[in-house]
Chain A
Amino acid sequence: MNKKTSLAMFGMLCLLGLWLLVGCSKKQETNEAPAAAPSSPAQPAATPIDPSTVASVSGTVKLDGAAPKASKIDMSQDPACKGTNTAETVVDDGGKLANVFVYVKDGLGDRTFDVPKDAVTIDQQGCKYHPHVLGVMTGQNIEIKNDDQTTHNIHPTPQANREWNESQPPAAAPLEKSFAREEIMLPVKCNQHPWMRMYINVVKTPFYAVTAPDGKYEIKGLPPGDYTIAFVQEKLGEQTQKVTLAAKDSKTVDQSFKAQ
């Protein structure tokens, strides 16, 4: 093989590599399309629940021990970011714990449920996500808005669902997304503003809640039965409790997490 042939082969290999990469990039774009299409096609019919027998469970989630001091956020790298500068890793108000995702982990068997037609909203405002913890059903639409005067990128890093990463300039149209598989505490981050982080919880049932600033939650409309209720906090982990609900029951299930 002479010099010219070697050089020509090398050039061809470089071009092939670049062509493959461009092809890969285009494929990525086409793969994004189904994720943007929000509705899931063939949903099985929902298992009927007798409304006259439904029960509810409610309670308060507490923090046992001194709450860690909230970390300060430095937003100086983007002058357009003018949000509150405290992190929301553990949000505690007098021992009451906010942003805990509470859901029925076990006890509903093979029941299926209608996916709500209304989308839930994630708002990027003050270079933070609102809400910080979100619950949705599989296939339910999520509308993502940008109310900041800066570009964000929305980048979920799931384990069970497909990863994506899209940018959203100021005043851009909302993004519409959905997740196909169950996943608890699915992190979402913005790589342009590394302090921006939130969690989406994707479940198959409508029986979930996120604790309010006063630590309270309520899950309504449960059919009578034996259930495992899970409480999940992004830093403190998961805890569960078993509860038996009779027809029209309204039980209180409180939970406390130990401060770390």
Chain B
Amino acid sequence: MEADLKSLATPYNRAHHRFAVFTACATFVLIIAGALVTSNDAGLSIPDWPTSFGSFSVPPLHGGIKFEWSHRAIAGSIVLLTISIAAWTWFADRRRWMKWLGIAALATVITQAILGGLTVLLFQPPWVSSAHAAVAQTFFCIAVAIAMFTGRRWVEEVPQIEFDHRRPSLFTLTLLSIFVLYVQLILGAMFRHHGMSWWPHVANAAIVAFVLTWTAIRALSQFSRIEAVRRPAIILVSLMIAQLCLGFIAFLTRVAWGRDAVQPELPMVISTVAHVAVGALLLATAVILAIQVWRQVPVSFEETVPTRTRKTVAA
């Protein structure tokens, strides 16, 4: 039994953790690079894939090519980083579920690469491009989670467990937050890739704001003593406010003022890229909060015991 428990734990590995943090940061850079491609309408500036103009060498980086090729180069690096982190986790981490999380990260990044190729070869159908955007942020969340799970706090600290008696539970609210953020991500991606009007994304922003505020208030009012819950809850609500402001600016620059723009203008590019980047941070924060709540705040269940006493009857 003791041996089984020991096999579930793993010692803190500083190099492994730092590499995981680096991979997560590089993924964030990749999300910004991808947002720059879409915002500059440069997604098909290189018409072939996986080669670029029939070759793997660097093409002349002018016009939209510099955005698309940079995105491909960073994406290639991320694939290599993910292979490394998956292999490192597989061999160095004792936790079985962590080994499989590394493999899941690798599977996600390969799926993402395939979706990236399909979006070029099929001329950016909105559903493929939106799936590419959604899987990108899913991979970012996995990379952030790996960084957290390999961190000293997660590995060495004993959770401060407090039971959650209220309904809906905080854990349910965090899952609901992730769900509405995913819906928002897909609606936003569909709008950006011309598969849908802007209004479903704007309408759902109100739902996202309500659910995230509810989640953050519940976390801060009930479990503010637990730092692992308090910190992501504060970050969640701060990012949400920033994201709403950026969304409003992006709406003004892209929909209201930029309707007749002959090309992507700098204000619309900056506001939209920032909106995508903060959106990714917001989703990752919601995932971190959910994981920490799952770990630190277990949901209590009341078991109803029958009041009637059973009489023993002799056979």
Which A residues are within 8 Å of any B CB, using their own CB? 7, 10, 14, 17-18, 21, 24-25, 28, 68, 71, 73-74, 77-80, 87, 89, 150-151, 153, 155, 157, 163, 165-167, 191-195, 197, 235
Q: A195 near B262 (CB under 8 angstroms)? A: yes
User: In the complex, what residues of B have CB within 8 A of residue A74's CB?
Assistant: 263, 265
Write the chain B residue with the least CB distance to A24. Answer: B121
Q: B44 near A153 (CB under 8 angstroms)? A: yes
Query: B34-55 vs A: 1/0 string, CB under 8 Å?
Result: 0000001111111111100100
User: In the complex, what residues of A have CB within 8 A of residue B264's CB?
Assistant: 194
Q: A165 near B47 (CB under 8 angstroms)? A: yes
Q: Does B151 contact A (CB under 8 A)?
A: no
Write the chain A residue with the least CB distance to B41. Answer: A194
Q: B63 near A192 (CB under 8 angstroms)? A: yes
Instruction: Tell me which of A18, A150, A194, A197 has the highest count of chain B C-beta atoms within 10 A of its own C-beta.
Output: A194
Q: B45 near A191 (CB under 8 angstroms)? A: yes
Write the chain B residue with the least CB distance to A260. Answer: B260
Near A by CB (< 8 A), chain B positions 90-119 give 103, 107, 110-111, 114, 117-118
Residue from B62, B64, B103, B118 in contact with A191 in the complex, judged by beta carbons closer than 8 Å = B64
Q: A87 near B114 (CB under 8 angstroms)? A: no
Check A17/B262 contact, CB under 8 A, given A10-B103, A191-B44.
Answer: no
Residue from A18, A89, A191 in contact with B41 in the complex, judged by beta carbons closer than 8 Å = A191
Interface SS majority for chain B: loop
Q: Does B65 contact A (CB under 8 A)?
A: yes
Q: Does B15 contact A (CB under 8 A)?
A: no
Q: B118 near A24 (CB under 8 angstroms)? A: yes
Q: A87 near B47 (CB under 8 angstroms)? A: no
User: In the complex, what residues of A have CB within 8 A of residue B41's CB?
Assistant: 191, 194
Q: B62 near A73 (CB under 8 angstroms)? A: no
User: In the complex, what residues of A have CB within 8 A of residue B118's CB?
Assistant: 21, 24
A-B contact pairs, 25 of them (CB 8 A): A10-B103, A10-B107, A14-B110, A17-B111, A25-B48, A25-B121, A28-B121, A71-B261, A73-B263, A74-B265, A89-B260, A151-B60, A151-B62, A155-B123, A157-B123, A165-B47, A167-B53, A191-B44, A191-B45, A191-B64, A192-B62, A193-B63, A193-B64, A194-B263, A194-B264
Write the chain B residue with the least CB distance to A79. Answer: B62
**A7 vs B53: C-alpha distance when bound (angstroms):** 34
Q: A192 near B64 (CB under 8 angstroms)? A: yes
Extra pairs beyond A24-B121, A25-B117, A194-B264 (6, CB < 8 Å): A80-B62, A89-B260, A150-B63, A165-B123, A167-B46, A192-B62
Instruction: Tell me which of B121, B261, B263 has the highest count of chain A C-beta atoms within 10 A of its own C-beta.
Output: B263
Write the chain B residue with the least CB distance to A71. Answer: B262
User: In the complex, what residues of B have CB within 8 A of residue A192's CB?
Assistant: 42, 45, 62-65
**A194 vs B265: C-alpha distance when bound (angstroms):** 10
User: In the complex, what residues of B have CB within 8 A of residue A155's CB?
Assistant: 44, 47, 123
Instruction: Tell me which of B43, B123, B265 has the highest count of chain A C-beta atoms within 10 A of its own C-beta.
Output: B123
User: In the complex, what residues of A have CB within 8 A of residue B103's CB?
Assistant: 7, 10
Minimum Cβ distance to chain A for residue B309 (Å): 49
User: In the complex, what residues of A have CB within 8 A of residue B62's CB?
Assistant: 77-80, 150-151, 192
Q: B260 near A17 (CB under 8 angstroms)? A: no
Minimum Cβ distance to chain B for residue A248 (Å): 44
**A209 vs B262: C-alpha distance when bound (angstroms):** 25
Check A167/B263 contact, CB under 8 A, given A10-B103, A191-B64.
Answer: no
Write the chain A residue with the least CB distance to B103. Answer: A10
Minimum Cβ distance to chain B for residue A187 (Å): 12
Check A87/B43 contact, CB under 8 A, given A191-B64, A194-B64.
Answer: no
Instruction: Tell me which of B49, B62, B103 has the highest count of chain A C-beta atoms within 10 A of its own C-beta.
Output: B62
Write the chain A residue with the least CB distance to B100. Answer: A6
Check A191/B42 contact, CB under 8 A, given A25-B48, A151-B60, A165-B47.
Answer: yes
**A195 vs B262: C-alpha distance when bound (angstroms):** 5
User: In the complex, what residues of B have CB within 8 A of residue A10's CB?
Assistant: 103, 107
**A73 vs B110: C-alpha distance when bound (angstroms):** 38
User: In the complex, what residues of B have CB within 8 A of residue A87's CB?
Assistant: 262
User: In the complex, what residues of B have CB within 8 A of residue A89's CB?
Assistant: 260, 262
Q: A17 near B64 (CB under 8 angstroms)? A: no
**A166 vs B45: C-alpha distance when bound (angstroms):** 9
Write the chain B residue with the least CB distance to A28. Answer: B121
Minimum Cβ distance to chain B for residue A240 (Å): 25
Query: B67-103 vs A: 1/0 string, CB under 8 Å?
Result: 0000000000000000000000000000000000001
**A165 vs B121: C-alpha distance when bound (angstroms):** 9
Minimum Cβ distance to chain A for residue B227 (Å): 36
Near A by CB (< 8 A), chain B positions 4-54 give 40-50, 53
**A17 vs B60: C-alpha distance when bound (angstroms):** 30
Minimum Cβ distance to chain A for residue B290 (Å): 26
User: In the complex, what residues of B have CB within 8 A of residue A25's CB?
Assistant: 48-50, 117, 121
Query: B117-140 vs A: 1/0 string, CB under 8 Å?
Result: 110010100000000000000000
